[in-house]
Amino acid sequence: MIPPAIDPDTSSEGERLVFEQFAADDSRPDWTVLHSLDIARHRRQLAGEVDFLVIAPGLGVLVLEVKGCHRLKREHGLWYYGGETEGRSRSPFSQASEAMHSLRERLTKRESSLSGVLFWSAVCFPFVDFTDQSEEWTPWQVIDRSRLAQRPLAECVESVLRQARDRAAELRLAWFDPAAGEPAREQADRILGALRGDFEFFDSPKVRARRAEEEIRRYTEEQFRALDQMRRTPRVVFDGPAGTGKTLLALEAARRGHAAGRSVLFLCFNRPLALWLQDQAAELLAAGRTPAMTVRTLHQYMVDVAGSSVRGSPADGETYWDEALPQAATERLLENWDRLERTERDGLSSSSLGPTLGIYDELIVDEAQDVVRDCFLDVLDLSVRGGLSEGTWRMFGDFAWQTIYDDTVSLDGFCEGRGANCPQIPLDENCRNTPRVAALACSAGDVAPGYSRVLRPDDGIDPDVRYYADAAGQALLLQSVLQELYDEQFTGPQVAVLSTKSDERAVAPRLPDQAWRDRLQPLIENEDFATVINTRTGRTHYSSIHRFKGLEANAVVVTDIESLDSAHERSLVYVGATRAKHRLVVLAHESLRGRLA
């Protein structure tokens, strides 16, 4: 199929149906089907368009005109499609025939060796039964609803071409030799090459990115049914691997909670993800908006609550973040609960007071596998009315394959303990990745059983795995890959370079060319323990996989893969690879040849 995915702007329901049937049929792997082919030099018009062009080695080339109407009539020589009030004098058969002759003349004039190839035309009416007969067409040039119900579309097309060959042989056309079996495979390739060169087949990066965004959003919104099913359940965990739409589901859950009049605390783990979520929920976060909605990382929230009461400083590392800060936030929340309860006992309204004290009506947690660790559970329990056992909350996480911070976190343990036996809802349909990217990510990460379905169509582009021998070789390889992506117009923040290592040890800042080093920028910079996040710049960002978790990019380059021996190493590669919406390039040490496929 060229292009491999139908343009989302295609309005014809019939063309969409025909495209899907061609794309789903793998019984004729040597066929090539072109959709929406622009004819630069048409016989009767300044320009024209072919709905579908089928190049079938050994049979011929078929121009297929699709009329996706649910009602069709011809009256006084005029054709009316659907609810049209003005008829058209040209029949669809004439339209297809003229387009076919325009193509044949152009191709044979350019390359005389194609003059013996059979070109023919047909018309498809996928939604109506077309039984009228005329000298203007032969019955076997019609593919209608009843024929499609009896046999697959590809069989119908093959039948047309075989009968066309019989007709050409019967007419003893001088240029046609039925025994020649044209077009041969090599001729079919030349036809395809000529059409690519002469006719506009343009898939710009902007259109490609927009199509991917629309696909991801459309398929993720299909997952909203999981939220619909749980709307009357106050506490639930949604568990699924990367790419199943958890972050957008969490965002939708937060919006629904806010629309229902509840104050909402929306927590995640990574700062870049929190910044993106704040952008997405900007309207709901406006100052003075009621009910209140807050989007923070867990640690930002604890800093807000604890204020200056924390003993120690960020320089203490994990001791500060996992012990001193949660303890201080817990102590302050206990004090705030006392204040809230006194206010309510005095008969005063506390609806707006709660959020100012860090206490909300509903809690939403994304990246839950990183948040529901034992050291943070008391903070979560005190942040929502009713606590974890009786409050209203939704959590979204991947407890099987993305616990790259703490692999001791157990979903069953949480749900059976502090989660008060809440239901676990599995998410297993991939909304983000193309099928080939999803397959490599699952294979490299040793993720099984993987996804029940990958919803996005196959774009025909394989992930690119390249190998290096040493650090200098990897730097040159990365620079070459970035140049290739740049030439394909994947530029700036459309590309993310993700490493299994920290920024200080990664290959990205060590490129040999200064010009390329200047185009790269760390996603996160730490200046005296203040975090600077560079998501809004126009440069290409590099980051550890840990820090990029929860985000995505059109093109992703995963670097510094030196071992796949441990589950943690495999999980990192899986997480990094599943960030790619369109293109994925993996740079691995040559000792891993054969293990990434």
| Segments in 429-556 forming alpha helices (H) | 435-445, 471-487, 514-519, 545-548
Q: Side chain identity at 493, as an amino acid letter?
A: P
CA nearest neighbour of 462 among 582, 352, 548, 379: 582
CA dihedral 426, 428, 432, 434 (to 10 degrees): 170
The pLDDT assigned to 40 comes to 46
In this predicted structure, the answer to whether residue 528 has a pLDDT above a threshold of 60 is no
Lowest mean pLDDT of 70-84, 187-201, 280-294, 442-456, name the range: 187-201
The pLDDT assigned to 216 comes to 77
Element (DSSP H or E) covering residue 585: strand 580-589
Across the range 529-547, mean pLDDT stands at: 81
The pLDDT assigned to 201 comes to 39
CA 283 and chain centroid, separation = 25
Lowest mean pLDDT of 156-160, 555-559, 592-596, name the range: 592-596
Query: What is the tens place of the pLDDT at every residue in 92-134?
Result: 999 999 989 988 998 998 888 999 999 999 999 999 999 998 8
Beta-bridge mates of residue 137: 134
In this predicted structure, the answer to whether residue 39 has a pLDDT above a threshold of 80 is no
Lowest mean pLDDT of 66-75, 82-91, 200-209, 533-542, name the range: 200-209
Across the range 549-573, mean pLDDT stands at: 93
The pLDDT assigned to 41 comes to 47
Q: What is the DSSP letter of 200?
A: -
- Distances from the Cα of 509 to the Cαs of 521, 549, 575, in angstroms? 8, 20, 21
How far apart CA 310 and CA 316 sit, in angstroms, is: 12
Name the pairing type of β-strands 78-81 and 72-75.
antiparallel
Structure-block tokens of residue 118: 């059979």
CATH number, domain 435-592, options 1.20.1050.10, 3.40.50.300, 3.40.50.720, 1.10.10.60: 3.40.50.300
Q: Give percent of the chain with pLDDT exceeding 70.
A: 93
3-state secondary structure of 49: strand
Lowest mean pLDDT of 7-21, 22-36, 204-218, 494-508, name the range: 204-218
In this predicted structure, the answer to whether residue 88 has a pLDDT above a threshold of 70 is yes
Across the range 275-292, mean pLDDT stands at: 84
The pLDDT assigned to 196 comes to 60
**Residue 509: band (very low, low, confident or very high) from pLDDT cuts 50, 70, 90:** very high
Q: Give percent of the chain with pLDDT exceeding 90.
A: 59
How far apart CA 156 and CA 160 sit, in angstroms, is: 6
3-state secondary structure of 155: helix
The pLDDT assigned to 9 comes to 75
Q: Which residue has the higher pLDDT, 83 or 299?
A: 299
Q: Which residue has the higher pLDDT, 99 or 290?
A: 99
Lowest mean pLDDT of 220-224, 277-281, 488-492, name the range: 220-224
Q: DSSP for 554-584?
A: EEEEEEEE----SHHHHHHHHHHHTTEEEEE
Query: What is the tens place of the pLDDT at every residue in 371-390?
Result: 998 899 999 999 999 999 99
In this predicted structure, the answer to whether residue 502 has a pLDDT above a threshold of 80 is yes
Q: Find out whether 433 and 454 touch, Cβ atoms under 8 Å.
A: yes
Query: What is the tens place of the pLDDT at every residue in 199-234?
Result: 443 456 666 677 777 877 787 777 788 888 888 899
The pLDDT assigned to 327 comes to 95
All CATH 3.40.50.300 domain ranges in the chain, comma separated: 224-426, 435-592
pLDDT mean across residues, the chain:
88
How far apart CA 35 and CA 113 sit, in angstroms, is: 25
Across the range 283-304, mean pLDDT stands at: 88
Structure-block tokens of residue 253: 């859950």
How far apart CA 169 and CA 158 sit, in angstroms, is: 17
The pLDDT assigned to 487 comes to 87
In this predicted structure, the answer to whether residue 440 has a pLDDT above a threshold of 60 is yes
CA nearest neighbour of 238 among 95, 21, 399: 399
Encode 210-225: b = buried (16+ Cβ within 10 Å), e = exposed. Answer: ebbeebbeebbeebee
CATH number, domain 224-426, options 1.10.3720.10, 3.40.50.300, 1.20.1260.10, 1.10.3470.10: 3.40.50.300
In this predicted structure, the answer to whether residue 582 has a pLDDT above a threshold of 70 is yes
Length, in residues, of the chain: 597
Q: Omega before 449 cis (within 30°)?
A: yes
The pLDDT assigned to 70 comes to 92
Query: What is the tens place of the pLDDT at every residue in 344-371?
Result: 888 766 677 889 999 999 999 999 999 9
Lowest mean pLDDT of 62-66, 251-255, 378-382, 525-529, name the range: 525-529
Cα angle 202, 205, 207; round to 5: 70
Lowest mean pLDDT of 161-175, 339-353, 417-431, name the range: 339-353
**Residue 407: band (very low, low, confident or very high) from pLDDT cuts 50, 70, 90:** low
